[in-house]
């Protein structure tokens, strides 16, 4: 039972990589998908917080980045996977 509880507790984990680790996350919900969005200079990261992958998660993550940062994503810069999404931004630095 303990391994199941550990896996379930980590399913909604908001653990950014080292480049975004010290930054607070902005919580954004897009069509039922929950994300923590972080911005550092001209780059952003969206971590999906809810379990389960549905078609369109990357598009919802991209929208979460735009909503959470107030910036547009530069064309061709979206990368990652449905759990952690990265993008370069087109806007002034904060």
Q: What are the sequence ranges of the domains in the chain?
A: 26-89
Average pLDDT, stretch 52-80? 94
Burial class for 58, CB neighbours closer than 10 Å (0-12, 13-18, 19+): middle
pLDDT for the residue 12: 47
**Model pLDDT for residues 26-49, shown as the tens digit of each residue:** 999 999 999 999 999 899 999 999
Q: Torsions phi, psi of 86, nearest 5?
A: -120, 150
Give the angle 47-52-58 at the CA atoms, nearest 5°.
50
- Does pTM surpass 0.75? yes
């Amino acid at each position: 039972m303990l391994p199941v509880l550990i896996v379930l507790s980590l399913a909604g984990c908001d653990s950014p990589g080292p480049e975004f680790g010290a930054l607070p996350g902005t919580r954004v919900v897009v069509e039922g998908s929950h994300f923590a969005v972080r911005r550092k200079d001209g780059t952003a990261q969206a971590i999906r917080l809810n379990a389960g992958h549905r078609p369109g998660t990357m598009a919802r993550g991209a929208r979460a980045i735009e909503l959470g940062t107030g910036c547009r994503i530069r064309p061709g810069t979206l990368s990652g996977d449905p759990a952690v999404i990265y993008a370069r931004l087109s806007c002034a630095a904060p």
